[in-house]
């Protein structure tokens, strides 16, 4: 009787996954009273991730000292120093220190968003869906990267930052539109890669769960943990490259 119930539950999951994939967007979880704004499972999951990060940051930094007095502070310092040492050869030591909060926040948010899709019921339970499986979220991240790159480029080099779009000057009418398009395409290509990999992996894992109700497919889940980390790493790494290019002086 128990195996039959498990099989029925998995069949229901597979059916709901198919309905979700066939829909054009995430299901509405609830509506804000008086405002009429729709809140989807994507947004509630993002709120949960942000709350987890805020609480973890508060717990990890509330008793900071010059000399680590706890394992938590020691672990945080090792993680921060490791990230700074990783990005320093890419964008320079000074830029690594300046951009580390942005790059670190980007990586942590994407990583937790990717992993949220592996939680039981993610994608079909109300209020729980991987944010990075929705292109609206990844496109938003791409827009943040685009604005950040333009901002640091202009702040570091002034209007000379846009020189690469009109060099040589006699081809400016042709090169300027292409340069603007290139600046948009680079981060948005990242957003498409991220959403395709996360949505595809989430769908495959849930399909395997429905097809193999007698045991948990450990190998696919393990691979998705690796792929989720890789996708977060690639997005953050290429963002660092774009920032390094924006602040680099032309010779």
Residue range of the domain that includes 97:
2-247
H helix runs in 62-171, sequence order: 71-91, 93-116, 135-157
Those residues with Cβ within 8 angstroms of residue 110's Cβ, 6 or more apart along the chain or in another chain: 132, 141, 194, 231, 232, 235, 236
Q: Is 226 exposed, middle or buried (0-12, 13-18, 19+ CB in 10 A)?
A: exposed
Domain count, the chain: 1
d(CA 41, CA 26): 7
Q: What is the 3-state secondary structure (H, E, C) of 144-177?
A: HHHHHHHHHHHHHHHHHHHHHHCCCHHHHHHHHH
The answer to which of 18-27, 81-90, 132-141 has the lowest mean pLDDT is: 18-27
d(CA 225, CA 171): 47
Q: Which two tokens stand for residue 208?
A: 């395997």
Coil, strand or helix at 242: helix
Give pLDDT tens digits for 181-240: 777 777 788 788 788 777 776 666 666 666 665 555 676 777 778 888 988 888 988 888
- Angle subtended at Cα 69 by Cα 67 and Cα 70, rounded to the nearest 5 degrees: 135
How does residue 50 score in pLDDT terms, banded at 50, 70 and 90? very high
Answer whether 244's CB lies under 8 Å from 95's CB. yes
Bridge-based pairing of strands 28-31 and 38-40 is: antiparallel
Cβ neighbours of 156 (radius 10 Å): 15
Q: Would you say the C-alpha torsion 228, 229, 231, 232 has a positive or negative sign?
A: positive
Q: Which two tokens stand for residue 175?
A: 């090169």
Give pLDDT tens digits for 89-111: 878 888 888 888 899 889 999 99
Give pLDDT tens digits for 118-169: 777 666 777 788 888 888 888 889 889 988 988 888 888 777 777 766 666 5
- Angle subtended at Cα 23 by Cα 196 and Cα 194, rounded to the nearest 5 degrees: 15
């Amino acid at each position: 009787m128990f195996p039959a119930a498990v099989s029925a539950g998995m069949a229901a999951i597979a059916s709901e996954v198919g309905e979700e994939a066939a829909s054009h967007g995430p299901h509405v979880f609830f509506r804000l009273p008086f405002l009429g704004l729709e809140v989807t499972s994507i947004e509630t999951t993002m709120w949960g991730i942000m709350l987890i990060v805020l609480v973890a940051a508060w717990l990890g930094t509330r008793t900071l000292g010059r000399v680590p007095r706890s394992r938590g502070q020691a672990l945080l310092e090792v993680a921060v120093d490791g990230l700074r040492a990783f990005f320093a050869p890419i964008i320079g030591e000074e830029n690594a220190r300046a951009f580390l909060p942005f790059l670190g926040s980007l990586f942590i948010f994407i990583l937790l968003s990717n992993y949220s899709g592996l939680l039981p019921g993610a994608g079909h339970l109300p209020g729980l869906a991987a944010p990075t499986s929705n292109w609206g979220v990844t496109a938003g991240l791409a827009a943040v990267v685009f604005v950040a790159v333009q901002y640091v480029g202009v702040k570091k080099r002034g209007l000379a930052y846009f020189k690469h779009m009109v060099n040589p000057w006699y081809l400016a009418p042709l090169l300027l539109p292409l340069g603007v398009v290139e600046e948009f395409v680079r981060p948005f290509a990242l957003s498409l890669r991220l959403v395709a990999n996360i949505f595809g992996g989430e769908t495959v894992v849930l399909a395997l769960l429905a097809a193999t109700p007698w045991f948990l497919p450990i190998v696919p889940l393990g691979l998705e943990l690796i792929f989720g980390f890789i996708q977060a790493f690639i997005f953050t790494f290429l963002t660092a490259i774009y920032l390094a290019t924006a602040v680099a002086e032309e010779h």
